[in-house]
Structure formats: structure tokens, C-alpha cells
Chain A
């Protein structure tokens, strides 16, 4: 069964190609069938392969598949091959599984939209690129998937291209992530030249053998890879594209935030953890970046009125948690939280999408209100997702994964304690901002009249993802609650360090923080007396996410535009416009001779001949 591994990325790719070239001739129904079935089949195959992998592990815990040789130059060759180990297995399952449910949801969400086939073509390509990224055995193939993901995000964020703002958002996402991608590419080139291979596993082995701890080269490589991860995962300071990426349709947001794209950075760092272990400064930077991002994004989420923007900032915040985990060396905890986050963030986005579907795409939470009675399915899904996001103790997946991260940070000495504090504060803020949305949007008085019911294609994904958000955490329980270690056992062959620590104290603290966050939100917003709080400068500061956009605009965009403006008529341009002028003048001069008078032509011929003969004679 394992030899069918190549089908997992190939099937969505095939679906995408069919839809791209045939969407003009396919009916809406057929397009949806192709789009969903290709990902669904890929998810099924991925599941069967994974079951086989867990029950009957291959030798060494790794299954490799070489598809073809890409190129061979000198002693340097690049094979296109897939590598299945527990880490990529987890990512593959999350990407294909969650991706499938998002596809299913999208078939109903996008009904009646223009460009239905195009949408699913890009959605399929997105999943295919991400699967290629996580399954790649080679850095170059990984990079191909990496760029494919970036391209698809551009295509999908700008899906409703009729509004220029959406196009701008798509462009912003593409350009900002491109900054990180460039760093990543330079890092890859350094790996290729220093380590002599782009095969991930052998590069890691060689790095371990040849590079010294904290040597400048390995630190540089690690920082460059971190740059790529920061761009893709929307961390400080390359995070500004993510909130604007909400311009895309909601299933796209769900796909970007849960199954693909932003998790790529976390995966990359986990995949190359050997390099980060060799470069402690880089690893610590990962943690610092994560902590700063989770706090900044959490506070910014408090000041948003758009339901999707709240979720966008919460994604940045949660990815920040994963970075903290990576920074303290709790690799498994990061992957655990990645998985749990994929479940509840997809759930949150899909239920938010289900709400806006019935509100004519109204996303302002202050215009919702009292929806829990009207839209019970969406309400319960959103509530479960919120509980998981705010890490409601004991019953949600988010609690266990976040606990794993925080206890990992607690166990990492003084520096880890600082990160732990940030994480606890973040947990409190998370509870406040997400339940602020819950109370404002779903309780209180109704501001709009809603009606209609959902089809099974909306309800089934919501139910499945709700279930996963609740029970998904039970595969890994801390020692205090039964000590189940399914996930860490699985990942132990690829990622070092066991999950979680043993102390109960920090755990209690974190639980208290998240519960008190929910309580505070309830106290403030259960009966919202004031509609909006956009008057205070503090609110405006956090609404603009600490003004990073303004900062970049003022210090990067404006100077470049200014330089371009003053350089418009520089002397180099003069050379080119001079060439144009001479050409035009010559054209006007010579055009006169094209009079259509044959005898003039003949006279010209004669004159020319006379001159030539004169040269020959008088020479």
C-alpha cells in the first residue's frame, strides 16, 4: 500500500489540472465532485498508509520513495522523492484530512459564485503543493511546494478580483512572504554549498557531523531558514500579510490558517531541528519571535470588530505558541499544537463562514448578536472551537496541546520561564478575545434577521471538526491525567526530547489564566452596554496591530516610491528617450521619400548608382 504514497500529492494535482483546463466545460456539480473527490481520495490513501505505517512500521521508521531524478550536475544530484516518517505522516494527515473537510464545506459555501471551477482548481493545487512540501525528501522539492503554496495563496486571496482591495491584499501576501522565501532560498544554497547535498536527511546528518555548535555558518543557515519560516507562518516582523489575507473567501482562510501555508514554517523548523540545536541563538530567537507575536497578535485581536480578523490574529498568536515550543526544544509539543490548532481553527473559520453565509457576508460582530437561537449549528461549532482555542481545561484538545507547550517552556530554565510567562499572559488574552466574539456575536439582542438552514456539506465538516477539537487531545495526556503518550511515541524516532514535563504548578496557572480570561470576557461582554470602543487611542493602536503597517509604509514603501519618483527622469532614461527621439525623427524624415512616385524612386536608384560608380572611378 505504501507504494501508492505518490498518489497523495498527485491526486489533488490531477484534479487541479483537470479543473484548470476544463472548468469552462464542466458543470458546477462535476467541478465540485472533482475538487472534493481528488482531495478526499488523497486523504483516504493517506489514512490507509498511515494506519499501515503505525501498525507495521518500516525498517528505521522511514519509508522513502524515489519518483525520478530531477537533475544531475557533477557530483551533485537532486532526486524527486517522497519521504514518509512520523513527522511528515502527521502533517500529511492533517493537511489532507482537514483539507478535505474544508473542500466539502466550500462546495456549499461557494454555490452561485462566479468562477466555481477556478476556485476548486486553485484549492486543489493549494493542497497538492502543501502535500508535496511536507512529503518532500529533498530541500529543492520542498521549496517547490513552498513556492506553490505561496502562489496559491496569491491566487485565492485575490479570488474576488473585482474589488481592487482584494488584489492588493493578495499582492501584499505574495510580496511579504517572498521576503522570507528569499532568505529561505539563500539558506538552501548555503546548505547545498556547505553540506554538499540537498537531501534533507543526509544534510541533517552531515550538519551534525561537520558543523560545530554555535559556529557562524550554522547560525547563519538557521537564521535564514527562520526567515523563511517567519514569512510563511506570519510571525513578527513579516506578519502583516495575514490579517489582509482575510480578503479571500472563508474556506480559503480556513485552508491557509489550518491545513496549509502558515503551518509550513513550523514544519520547516521541526524538520530542520538539527540545525537549530546546533545554533542555540537561532533557536532562542525562534522562541522570542513566537512570544512577541503571540502577545502582539493577542492584544490586536482584542481590538478587532471583524470576526475573520479576530480569527486571523488568533492564528498568528497560536503559531506564536508553536514557535515558543520550537524555541524551547519541545518539538513534539509544537507538532501537537499544530495538529490541535488545525482542527479548531478550521472549525472556527468554517463556523464563522457558516454564519456569514446567512448574513450576506456581513463580518462585523456588532451587526450580528443573538445568533445562538437562529443558527444553533454554527453557534455550537463556534463555541467548541472557541473553547479549544482558549484552552478550556480538561475537555478540549487545545488545552492539552497548549499545556504541553507551556510545561515544555517551564522546564527550559530561566529563559524558558520568561517565555512561559508570555504564554500564560497570552492564554488569558486568548480567552478574553475569543469569548468577546462569542458573547457579542451570538448572545445579546439580534441586530439582523437571519433565516435558512444548512445542507449536509456544511454540517458534516462542522460536526467532524468539533469532535476532533474535543477528543483530538486525548492522544497525548500529561502525566497528571493518565499519562498517555501516543503522539510522542510516534514522533520519538524523528524528534528528540519527550513531550511535556511533570510539574502540576504551571499547569494549574495556565488553566487558571484561560478560565479567568473567559470569565473576564463574560463580565465585560455578556450584556454589551457600549456598542463600540473605537474612541480611545489605545484601542486604535491595537486595532492597527501596533502600527506595523504604518511603520512599513512610512519607512519602506514611501522611500522606495519617493526614490522611484525622483529617478524617473534621470540621465540613463535620457539615453533611452534620446534613442526613441532619433528613431522617430528618422522615421518622419524617411517617410517623405515613400511618395508612391515611381520616377522618383528610379531617380534615387540612378543617383545611388552614379555615386557608387563615382567612388569606383575617382578612387
Chain B
């Protein structure tokens, strides 16, 4: 057992709970960032330093910044938070929670039934990941590049439509 792993896991779960229950988008975003950083720590503990770095740089960095930009552009004020509180009645949580608990139980059963034992204990560094990326996973990388290109084109197109609609 590893206390670093447990603590960061608990932090991640708590921060995520806070994320989905916040009324203010900015607060939620901050909690989400905390959660992501905690997950990055988990990665590091698990011997994946490269993934941990990417988690911090891209998830907690770039993607969150995108959210911040959009929140700024939408210019959401206190009215939105009030509306959000009005939407978040307790009854709203019953159905989703029920489904989620069911799923969690099922996943728990699946996960604990395996009994695969402990990790190997070695570090997989960036070098190994890079070799694998341009080696056996070359085709996946190409597909990912296509995906990014498609995302770029779509975002550009949708952004243009906004200016035309004005």
C-alpha cells in the first residue's frame, strides 16, 4: 500500500465531487483542475512520469485554458449561478445517482474479481513511450492526426459561422 497513492486518489475523488456540484462555472473549473493534478500525481506514483507530465501540461493546462476562454466569451454573471441553483434541485440527482451507483457496483465487481496482483514496480519512461508510438502504434498516431485535423476544421468552420450569423 502506498499512502501517496491513497491520498491523491481521495483528493481526486473529492475534487471531482465538488466539480459536478458547483453552481459557478469558474469554481467548478478550479476543482476540476485540482482533480486533474491529483490524477497526475497518481500517474507519477504508478511509474508513468511522461503521462503525468502530459496530464499537467495538456489537461490541466491547455484544455482548462480553453474552458476559461469560453467562459469569458460567454460573459456569464451571477444570474447564471442563480439559474444553476434553481436547476440543481435535489430531485435532479436521484435518477443519475441511481444509475451511477448501479454502474459503480458493477464496475467494482468486475475490477475486484480479477485478482491480477501488484504492479511490476518498474518505471516506463518517455523514451519507451516514444519508441512505442512510432513503432507498433504508428497507424494510431496517424489516425489521431486525422482526428486533430478534423477537430481543427470543425472548430474553424463553427467559429466562422458565428461571425456570419452576427
Contacts and interface: CB of A to CB of B under 8 A. Distances in A.
Interface of A: 603, 606-607, 609-610, 613-614, 616-617
B99 A613 contact: no
Nearest to B102: A610
A617 B99 contact: no
B109 interface: yes
Contacts of B103: 606, 609-610, 613
Nearest to A599: B96
A603 B106 CA distance: 17
11 contacts: A603-B95, A603-B99, A607-B99, A609-B103, A610-B99, A610-B106, A613-B103, A613-B106, A613-B107, A613-B110, A614-B106
Contacts of B106: 610, 613-614, 617
A615 to B, nearest CB: 10
A40 to B, nearest CB: 67
Nearest to B100: A606
B102 A617 contact: no
Contacts of B96: 603
A494 B99 CA distance: 94
A617 to B, nearest CB: 5
Contacts of A616: 110
Contacts of B110: 613, 616-617
A617 B95 contact: no
Interface string B89-106: 000000110010011001
B110 to A, nearest CB: 6
A617 B110 CA distance: 7
Interface in B93-140: 95-96, 99, 102-103, 106-107, 109-110
Contacts of A610: 99, 102-103, 106
Nearest to A606: B99
A192 B103 CA distance: 74
* 7 closest Cβ pairs, A-B complex: A613-B106, A606-B99, A610-B102, A617-B109, A610-B103, A617-B106, A617-B110
A614 B106 CA distance: 7
A610 B106 CA distance: 8
A230 B93 CA distance: 86
A614 B99 CA distance: 12
A618 to B, nearest CB: 9
Contacts of A614: 106
Nearest to B95: A603
A96 B107 CA distance: 89
Contacts of A607: 99
Interface in B49-101: 95-96, 99
A294 to B, nearest CB: 84
B108 to A, nearest CB: 10
B20 to A, nearest CB: 14
A576 B152 CA distance: 51
A597 to B, nearest CB: 13
Most buried by A among B96, B103, B106: B106
